[in-house]
Amino acid sequence: MVVWKPHLLLLSFASKILVEANTLLKLQDTPPGKPFATQASTPPSPFLLSSLLQSRPQVKLPEEQRFGDENGLDDDLVESSDSEDESEYDELPPFKRLSKAQIAKLTKAQKKAYFDDLEYREKLFMKKQLKEERRQRKMMKKMAAAAKDLPNLALPASFDSDNPTHRYRYLDSSNPWLVRPVLDTHGWDHDVGYEGINMERLFVAKDKFPISFSGQITKDKKDANVQMERASSLKHEGGKVTSLGFDMQTVGKDLAYTLCGETRFSNVRKNKANAGISVTLSDDTLSAGVKVEDKLMANKRFQVVMTGGAMTSRRDIAFGGSLEAQLRDKDYPLGRS
């Protein structure tokens, strides 16, 4: 008898016994590479609090996306600073560069004054160029983009003789619906590697209420995962903005529903505050949380962001917060932050 045959028979019997035991005990299968993916049906409070503390991007109208948000605090400070720098550069007296021979005849103090003046003029000129580039980018966003080929996703190695890449080419057209495949390089489908579909669209209600929709559905041999997100923003007088969102996603074998809302307002020009709430329903468990965020910009170089919140459910309660400080270079945006 061949030596490997007893080992093969033992492996076959062991696999069969494990399958029968799994069926009798009704154990849940865990996909490879995703440990504990289906064990917890209710997200823990710290996880929900971490999601609440993360600021969501504001949904903007198409024209605001093209020209930028004129009410942004950072943009206002940068634009005002650029205007001052540009006018200051235009008001500088004429400058004549010296040759190496002329520089060699200068004294040490004169050389220092000459190079300091030259460096100062170059910084102002570069800031003026950056502002011109921002203006050009805004004008380019205004133009309608023509349909073009989007970059194709790299497919995993296939066991088949033919290459299926050509079947999944798609265009970035003027269609309001943006539909893309979802690639999983470690998925069970060895033919194409696509295991789902992703859809996005921006709606405009009454010409002033933007509503964004994004959804994704993925499916493997046993489980299907669904993720959906809807968000909208409403502007009020005085620079206040209210954002609402509704999320639905698969958590284990159940669906988790999250309704959240937050309001941004500016007390003064250099201060922004944000207050929000969130309610999550998953597996008959209701979780609710609140958060407060304050952003203070002392000048165009230094800003501080403070965030705090709490999340509670019938099981536990979680508290969290963060403090972030940013110091930019004196010559920002030419320097580092």
Q: What digits encode the pLDDT tens for the residues 224-262?
A: 899 999 999 988 887 789 999 999 999 888 889 999 999
Residue 160 in domain: no
pLDDT at 275: 93
Percent of the chain at pLDDT above 70? 72
- The rounded mean pLDDT for the chain is 77
Distance from C-alpha of 110 to C-alpha of 116, rounded to nearest angstrom:
10
CB 261 within 8 A of CB 243: yes
Residue 46 in domain: yes
Residue 86 predicted with pLDDT over 70: no
Domain end, chosen from 84, 108, 142, is at: 142
Per the structure, the count of domains in the chain is: 2
Residue 135 in domain: yes
Q: Which two tokens stand for residue 212?
A: 């964004």
Q: Which two tokens stand for residue 157?
A: 């190695």
**Scanning the structure block, which residue is given the tokens 């529903």?**
257
pLDDT tier at 27, thresholds 50, 70, 90: low
pLDDT at 35: 43
Residue 54 predicted with pLDDT over 80: yes
Q: Are residues 48 and 138 in the same domain?
A: no
Q: What is the pTM of this model?
A: 0.61
Domain end, chosen from 108, 142, 176, is at: 142
Residue 280 in domain: yes
User: Using CB atoms within 10 A of its CB, is residue 197 exposed (0-12), middle (13-18) or buried (19+)?
Assistant: middle
Q: What is the DSSP letter of 155?
A: P
Q: Which two tokens stand for residue 240?
A: 């206040």
Residue 90 in domain: yes
Q: What is the DSSP letter of 183?
A: E
The lowest-confidence range among 51-55, 137-141, 241-245 is: 137-141
Structural domain of residue 93, as residue ranges? 73-142
Per the omega criterion (within 30 degrees of 0), is the bond before 333 cis? yes
pLDDT at 266: 82
CA distances from 150 to 5, 137, 169, 213, 335 (A): 53, 21, 8, 21, 34
**Scanning the structure block, which residue is given the tokens 């669906």?**
255
DSSP string, 49-77: HHHHHSPPPPP--HHHHHH--TT-HHHHH
Residue 40 predicted with pLDDT over 60: no
Contacts by 196-205, CB closer than 8 A, 24 or more apart: 196/225, 201/176, 201/177, 202/59, 202/62, 202/176, 204/61, 204/62
Averaged pLDDT for residues 309-319: 89
